[in-house]
Structure 1
Amino acid sequence: MTKRLALLALLLSGCAAAPVVQAPAQKAHKDFLVLDTHLDTPLHFARAGWSFDGHHDPATDLVQVDMERMRAGALDGGFFAIYTEQGPLTAKGYADALAYARGRSDLIDSTLAKFPDRIGRALTPDDALRLNREGKLVAFKSMENSYELGEDVSLLEEFYDRGVRLAGPVHAANNQFADSSGDKPKWHGLSPLGRKWVEEANRLGIAIDASHASDDTFDQMLALSKTPLLLSHSSGRWAFDHPRNLDDERIRKLAAKGGAICVSTIFLANMNMTPERAALFARYEHISDLSPAEQADLAAKWHELDKTQPIWGKADFERYMEMVLHVIKVAGVDHVCFGADWDGGGGLPGIADISALPKVTERLRKAGYSDADLDKMWSGNILRVVGEAQKAAGR
């Protein structure tokens, strides 16, 4: 009996449980470097009585991005846009637009300079990583619409020197460079001057933004550019058949050439642009010209209209995430990023401002995406495309 017990003890000792190895904890949303490729927030920078660093109640203000919410961990930075409204294709139109764009660029610089310990300008991917390590917010600069360059593509170098590292040739209407997704074909893609614009962007090392471009313009830029394209704020046409959105086949072609689509919250339904909404948008575009009382009045009327006539109809966070997951499936995690069009018409019920971004990470987690996947989609793919443009620069 004693021998049997000894033998049993020997067998059991050989079967002792191995030490439990715990899987590493998943990163929280705040632990990722979270960048957005299209922030229209500079239109608020010159508002009377307003500060980028202040507290702005979403119930009484229309701004969706401010440093208080950014510091809370929802957003670490991104591309602050120099947006220039499309005007007449005339010498005076070009001159007026150029003066405006220079002023908007200076406004971005002067605003950031007020908070040197909290936010820093980024010119390269390494700058973004360094600023993040230092605990600072990241501010790249982009250019939405190149209309202000007139017929002189060499002016693009001035904006490169001003810090622009991402630029698109066209906005909501055709211009001297290209056809817009929001207009009838004129050039059937790029104009001859637009082809020179692509060459100059490549030479300087500016990443090319294909959001707002027509399908033909997208196709031609994809073929001509020596570096991958970035769509700073575009949705998938799978979710809503609109020319502003990109179809699956073009998303695949974009990915095949190393580019990335930064998915937006816009055009998941028809834009409910009633005359009343259009009038409010017209005031909003010039909100910096309004007094604090007029700003409050605009916000109150905007929010009241939202109750009965939402900008994007019945589109909401759930529909947005359906579209995001579809785009990831089509493009792959190496070719997806985020650009919601904050402060430029973006935002939906359930994802109304940047404070909702952790919900996107949570939903992607539930869909099975890993830390490595999320690192790529929140910033890695953006920095890769920007870096490839800079490495290939011929300047």
Structure 2
Amino acid sequence: MYKLNKQFVSVALGLLMCQSAGAVTLEEATAIQRQLVTLDTHLDTPANLVVPGFDILERHSYGHDFSQVDVPRMQEGALDGGFWAIYSPQGELSKIGYEQSRDTALLRALAIRTMVTANPEIFEFATQASDAQEIKKNAKHIVYMSMENSYPLGTDISLLETFYKFGLRMTGPVHFKNNQFGDSSTDPDGPKWDGLSPLGEQLVVEANRLGIVLDGSHAHDETVKDMIRLSKTPIILSHTGSKAIYDHPRNVDDELLKMLAASGGVIQMNAYSEYLEALPADPERKEAFKGLMKLVKDGSDREIILEKRREIEHEHPAVKASFEVYMKHFLHALKVVGPEHVGIGADWDGGGGVDGMMDVVNLPMITQRLLDEGYSKEDLANIWGANALRVLQQAQDYAANVKAKK
């Protein structure tokens, strides 16, 4: 079981006791957050690592290049790191589709590894739950590796072990559409398998054997239920919201949330605006984005693409959910299952972001709000990292026991 370091808990508790009565300031909240292992379980930032001209060590801005994570902003926002996601687009369920996606996924895994090896004084790769605390102690940023959508594995479950050797420690079976492993929550054609497919059930068994955490984000409710039922260890929803606040397929209802928690699992709260509340349609913006996508498809220069995107944002600005709406989802989940089963996975660089919190600089706002709501320092330690690390530790303990019995 992952345990909190007593020293940093006592230090942060001391900070809380020193506060004067009333609301916690953002500065105080940031100081408290810096004492914790702060992780986000779904960083899509590896997509930027392969973009020409993007340097993770330099400070960028959302208004200029629409990125949300880099080292200077992580430091300002007191984010230690998290699970950096391998993502490759899903094509046809065919041999050639699987192979193309597999190759893209392997290159993305290599990009994550390269980011770490090229900057050993800044980043450190983590493969064990216990690594996070030690890396933080060494004042480096924590890099766990995850996979959003297991589609690149094709029908060869043994490939999961290949990615495990690269450092993979979390994977989800599906993304926007159904695939060979199971049903997605958002496939326009509806369910195909009524949950996990037979191959998806094999994926659960193999992930358990290796000590890889299973991620039910993007999965249909029946798929999530199958994962909970079949997995020998708790699963995670790495970036998901509360259906009680907004009835969207990407969110989960209270019944499923309680089932998740009863099995030891954790929901990490998503900040993807379209999943937080109904937003007004903007057909002109949608049409403008078609032109932008054509530039991308044609291989246009990055600066030309960025200039077009900035033009669109000026003429047809996106409507985002508010920070308060995000916190409604967050606080509802906390009310239903408690701080031992809730965490943070905002979907940075993958579409996440709400008004007032458009990049990782603003993360201490969450800490400030939770303190004002009466949550304790221990609660915050669980929410910011310990819950996810506990799930990883349980996955690794099970795998170790299986191996020991052979």
For the criterion TM > 0.5, the same-fold answer is yes
Is the 1:280–1:302 contact (alpha carbons within 8 Å) kept by the matching residues of 2? no
- Alignment of 1:197 with 2:203, yes or no, is yes
What is the identity, as a one-letter code, of the residue corresponding to 1:215? D
- Are residues 113 and 290 of structure 1, via their aligned partners in 2, closer, same or farther at CA, if it must alter by over 3 Å? farther
Q: What is the aligned partner in structure 2 of residue 134 from structure 1?
A: 138
Q: What is the aligned partner in structure 1 of residue 20 from structure 2?
A: none
From the CA coordinates, give the structure whose radius of gyration is larger. 1
**Shift in Å at residue 278 of structure 1?**
4.9
**Shift in Å at residue 293 of structure 1?**
1.7
> Within 5 Å, which residues of 2 pair with 1:126-205?
126-183=130-187, 184-205=190-211
Is the 2:46–2:108 contact (alpha carbons within 8 Å) kept by the matching residues of 1? yes
Q: Give 1:241's match in structure 2, choosing from 244, 247, 254.
A: 247
- Alignment of 1:268 with 2:272, yes or no, is no
Q: Structure 2 CA distance, aligned partners of 1:120 and 1:89?
A: 36
Q: Which moved more, 1:166-175 or 1:101-110?
A: 101-110
Q: Structure 2 CA distance, aligned partners of 1:76 and 1:323?
A: 23
Q: What is the aligned partner in structure 2 of residue 18 from structure 1?
A: none
C-alpha distance after superposition, 1:185-229 (max 9, x if no partner):
100001111100100000010000000000110111110000001
C-alpha distance after superposition, 1:364-387 (max 9, x if no partner):
001001110000000000100011
Is the 1:47–1:290 contact (alpha carbons within 8 Å) kept by the matching residues of 2? no
Q: Structure 2 CA distance, aligned partners of 1:285 and 1:141?
A: 27
Q: What is the aligned partner in structure 2 of residue 366 from structure 1?
A: 372
- Alignment of 1:301 with 2:311, yes or no, is yes
- Alignment of 1:46 with 2:50, yes or no, is yes
- Alignment of 1:108 with 2:112, yes or no, is yes
Q: What is the aligned partner in structure 2 of residue 56 from structure 1?
A: 60
Q: Which runs of 4+ in 1 moved over 6 A?
A: 283-287
What is the identity, as a one-letter code, of the residue corresponding to 1:29? Q
Q: Structure 1 CA distance, aligned partners of 2:359 and 2:47?
A: 16
Q: What is the aligned partner in structure 2 of residue 279 from structure 1?
A: 290
- Are residues 73 and 108 of structure 1, via their aligned partners in 2, closer, same or farther at CA, if it must alter by over 3 Å? same
Q: What is the aligned partner in structure 2 of residue 97 from structure 1?
A: 101
The runs of 5 or more residues in structure 2 that have no matched partner are 1-12, 17-30
The runs of 5 or more residues in structure 1 that have no matched partner are 1-22
**Shift in Å at residue 303 of structure 1?**
2.7
Q: Structure 1 CA distance, aligned partners of 2:202 and 2:315?
A: 44
Q: Give 1:215's match in structure 2, choosing from 218, 221, 234.
A: 221
Structure 1 length normalisation: TM-score? 0.89
Q: Structure 2 CA distance, aligned partners of 1:114 and 1:155?
A: 26
**Shift in Å at residue 57 of structure 1?**
2.5
Is the 2:61–2:68 contact (alpha carbons within 8 Å) kept by the matching residues of 1? no
> Size of the alignment, in residue pairs?
368
**Shift in Å at residue 71 of structure 1?**
1.8
What is the identity, as a one-letter code, of the residue corresponding to 1:129? Q
Is the 2:57–2:72 contact (alpha carbons within 8 Å) kept by the matching residues of 1? yes
Where 2:64 maps in the other structure, the secondary structure is coil
- Are residues 297 and 101 of structure 1, via their aligned partners in 2, closer, same or farther at CA, if it must alter by over 3 Å? same
Q: Structure 1 CA distance, aligned partners of 2:207 and 2:296?
A: 28
**Shift in Å at residue 47 of structure 1?**
1.9
When the two chains are superposed, the root-mean-square deviation of aligned CA atoms in Å is: 2.0
What is the identity, as a one-letter code, of the residue corresponding to 1:300? R
Where 2:327 maps in the other structure, the secondary structure is helix
- Are residues 342 and 101 of structure 1, via their aligned partners in 2, closer, same or farther at CA, if it must alter by over 3 Å? same
C-alpha distance after superposition, 1:232-284 (max 9, x if no partner):
00011011101110111111110011000000112012465853365378479
**Shift in Å at residue 341 of structure 1?**
0.4
Is the 1:123–1:163 contact (alpha carbons within 8 Å) kept by the matching residues of 2? yes
Where 1:125 maps in the other structure, the secondary structure is coil
Is the 1:151–1:176 contact (alpha carbons within 8 Å) kept by the matching residues of 2? yes
Where 1:92 maps in the other structure, the secondary structure is helix
- Are residues 119 and 194 of structure 1, via their aligned partners in 2, closer, same or farther at CA, if it must alter by over 3 Å? same
Q: Structure 1 CA distance, aligned partners of 2:330 and 2:295?
A: 28
Q: Structure 2 CA distance, aligned partners of 1:119 and 1:246?
A: 34
**Shift in Å at residue 299 of structure 1?**
3.8
Q: What is the aligned partner in structure 1 of residue 33 from structure 2?
A: 29
- Are residues 281 and 336 of structure 1, via their aligned partners in 2, closer, same or farther at CA, if it must alter by over 3 Å? farther
Q: What is the aligned partner in structure 2 of residue 12 from structure 1?
A: none
What is the identity, as a one-letter code, of the residue corresponding to 1:294? I
Q: Give 1:333's match in structure 2, choosing from 321, 339, 357.
A: 339
Is the 2:292–2:308 contact (alpha carbons within 8 Å) kept by the matching residues of 1? no
- Alignment of 1:67 with 2:57, yes or no, is no
Q: Structure 1 CA distance, aligned partners of 2:309 and 2:97?
A: 31
Where 1:59 maps in the other structure, the secondary structure is helix
Q: Which moved more, 1:248-257 or 1:106-115?
A: 106-115
Q: Structure 2 CA distance, aligned partners of 1:74 and 1:166?
A: 23
Is the 1:29–1:73 contact (alpha carbons within 8 Å) kept by the matching residues of 2? no
Q: Structure 1 CA distance, aligned partners of 2:296 and 2:250?
A: 20
C-alpha distance after superposition, 1:170-195 (max 9, x if no partner):
00000000000011110000111110
**Shift in Å at residue 305 of structure 1?**
5.2
**Shift in Å at residue 112 of structure 1?**
2.1
Q: Structure 1 CA distance, aligned partners of 2:161 and 2:356?
A: 40
**Shift in Å at residue 72 of structure 1?**
2.0
What is the identity, as a one-letter code, of the residue corresponding to 2:14? P
Q: Structure 1 CA distance, aligned partners of 2:312 and 2:295?
A: 10
Is the 2:91–2:97 contact (alpha carbons within 8 Å) kept by the matching residues of 1? yes
Structure 2 length normalisation: TM-score? 0.86
Q: Structure 1 CA distance, aligned partners of 2:53 and 2:221?
A: 42
C-alpha distance after superposition, 1:281-340 (max 9, x if no partner):
8479889x6534224314413532562x42x4xx21011111111110001110000000
